Amino acid sequence: MIERIIDAHIHLFSHEGMARLCAGSGHQPSVAHLTAEFSRLNIRGAVVMGSSRGGCNQAVKAGLFDLEGPADPFDYTYPKNFGFCMGVNPEGLAPHLIEQTLADFRRVAKSPYALGFKLYPGYNHAPISDPSYFPILELAEELNLPVAVHTGDTANPAGRLRFAHPLTVDDAAAMFPRVQFVMCHFGNPWAMDAAEVCKNKPNVYADLSGLAVGLPDPDAFMERYRGYVDYLRTWLGFLDNYEKVMWGTDWPLVNLERYIELMAAIVPDEAHDQFFYQTAATVYHKLPALIEGSE
């Protein structure tokens, strides 16, 4: 068993949606169940990804606190080892709303549980290098908070894949070299491009969340998708730096234990602590204090 783990990418949303996805991954749709599984599997903490749903200036709240908890992060009721990334709704970036949006983010960012920002360019039909995002990236730089970016395939065909390509993160990382970016899902299926962006830009990292769904049997998965697994290993080997990649699940999309086993079989043993724990603890640098405070 891996000695210590951070899940760098989970979701908490409405009970109905949670129940549907948990049914496929062998989990129960409750925070109590999730924390029990975390304890059993040595998962010390988690990064909850905010969504971009909701009203223009409700984006700092939407998608995070609507399950068994209040909307305001200062009335936080989730486990104390769970931090969150603030979801950015592009509607709130309109010129007549941006000052209020930034004020909202500044207020929420004071919470010890606010670990960073989350952007969804493929779903919002604009690259993160678009000037409309500059105020958010400037704020992230000012506050020294990382920016997680959905990259790769989108969950519905209405997404624009070209805006979710890893090379769009490369553009933003060049323009904002003091901002740390996390390419969620390793740009899947563009692992080659994601690896090159991570290797070329010192301020870009990646999580390997969401590369399998449901209840995958690790051995059967690696046999059925042998070409994909070899491709992933090839470009992780090309990157050759596990200080740049971290474990995450996209829970409740996939079973936690099975995903640990699958990724442990792909990542070299000597890199396990770095991959499963230390990279996330370094990038989401407010999280270790939450973990220590909960123990």
Which pLDDT belongs to residue 83?
92
Closest-CA residue to 154 (of 181, 179, 128, 189): 189
Please tell me the predicted confidence (pLDDT) of residue 108: 85
Residue whose token pair is 């309109």? 94
Q: Give the residues of the chain that fall short of pLDDT 50.
A: 54-70
The pLDDT, as a whole number, for residue 75 is: 56
Quote the number of domains for the chain. Answer: 1
Question: Cα separation of 142 and 105, whole Å?
Answer: 12
Residues 245, 250, 251, 257: is their CA dihedral positive or negative? negative
Q: What are the tens digits of pLDDT across the range 141-182?
A: 999 999 999 999 998 888 889 999 999 999 999 999 999 999
Q: Which amino acid is at 74?
A: F
CATH number, domain containing residue 197 = 3.20.20.140
Give the sign of the dihedral formed by CA 46, CA 115, CA 84, CA 146. negative
What is the C-alpha separation between 33 and 255, in angstroms, rounded? 12
Please count the other Cβ atoms lying within 10 Å of the Cβ belonging to residue 259: 28
Q: Residue 58 has what pLDDT?
A: 38
Q: Which amino acid is at 172?
A: A
Domain that holds residue 189: 5-294
CB 127 within 8 A of CB 163: yes
- Please give the pLDDT value at position 14: 64
Q: pLDDT tens digits for 228-252?
A: 999 999 999 999 999 999 999 999 9
On the CB side of 197, CA atoms within 13 Å amount to: 29
Helix count and strand count (H, E) for the chain? 13, 8
Q: What is the pTM of this model?
A: 0.93
